[in-house]
Amino acid sequence: MLKVENINTYYGDSHILQDVSLEVHLGEIVVLLGRNGVGKTTTLKSIMGIEPPKTGKILYKGEEITGNQPYQNVQKGLAIIPEDRRIIPNLTVEENLKLGILHKKKKLNVAERFDMVYQYFPKLKLRVNQMGESLSGGEQQMLTIARAMVSKPDLMMIDEPTEGLAPLIVEEIGEILRRLQRDGATILLVEQNYQVSLSLSDNLRAYILEKGQIKLSGTSEELHACQDEVERCLGVKL
């Protein structure tokens, strides 16, 4: 579905991503892990075309999309769910959700999409006419995910959805991701929380970034087998 080949991305003279390669197959959840500042968000932005790589290739469904504008990638079915959430505070929940279908080219049954999203997020349905700013942090995160889902994306790239949220809400978001996976969604997930991410699926694969380079990758089992190395890369005790 997605193949990233040796991308190098810069901010000015700073060489951030160094020969990053990764793959996401149809129906898979792939997790991108790593400490703060190693380039996880930059990886998602590079794929989306927000911070295009200087060299390297990005293939999506077999077609090269390197250098595409973000809106072109949205039309092709990619969605990014940014870590800073970016819901519009003075629009209602429903209006925020409608922003999710702005750049969509293919014909969508909008009513059906909204129904589907409200099934996933009953809490949002209760708050359709409430302003974005009145939502809790967890609800805002749900709204960001829901806004991407209404456009029926083929690949969702979700950046740290559990960051800063209380444990109960983290569990709720985890449940939503598990449900998405069961329903066949393809997800590239950036997550700081190793335990949460490895609990999402039995056949999950992960990549660990360190200073802009992929240092480790494998299934949850394979990573388990080299726990010392994982702990060193992530700077945590597991």
- Per CB under 6 A, residues contacting ligand ADP are 11, 14, 16, 34, 36-42
CA dist 145 and 156 (Å) reads 9
* Contacts of 192 by beta carbon, 8 Å cutoff, 6+ apart: 33, 36, 160, 162, 163
Rule CB under 5 A: say whether 66 interacts with Mg ion: no
* Contacts of 126 by beta carbon, 8 Å cutoff, 6+ apart: none
CB of 178 to ligand ADP, least distance (A): 23
CA dihedral (233, 205, 79, 11) positive or negative: positive
**What phi and psi, each to the nearest 5 degrees, are found at residue 28?**
-95, 150
CA dist 88 and 169 (Å) reads 21
User: If contact means CB under 5 to 8 A according to the sort of partner, which of Mg ion, ligand ADP, none does residue 53 touch?
Assistant: none
Nearer to ligand ADP, 114 or 207 (CB): 207
Give residue number: closest CB to Mg ion. Answer: 41
Rule CB under 5 A: say whether 9 interacts with Mg ion: no
Nearer to ligand ADP, 75 or 192 (CB): 192
User: If contact means CB under 5 to 8 A according to the sort of partner, which of ligand ADP, Mg ion, none does residue 186 touch?
Assistant: none
CB of 155 to ligand ADP, least distance (A): 19
User: If contact means CB under 5 to 8 A according to the sort of partner, which of ligand ADP, Mg ion, none does residue 197 touch?
Assistant: none
Rule CB under 5 A: say whether 41 interacts with Mg ion: yes
User: If contact means CB under 5 to 8 A according to the sort of partner, which of ligand ADP, Mg ion, none does residue 96 touch?
Assistant: none
* Contacts of 183 by beta carbon, 8 Å cutoff, 6+ apart: none
CB of 120 to Mg ion, least distance (A): 24
SS3 16: strand
Nearer to ligand ADP, 17 or 155 (CB): 17
Residues in the chain: 238
What is the H or E stretch that residue 44 is in? helix 40-48
Binding site for Mg ion (CB under 5 A): 40-41
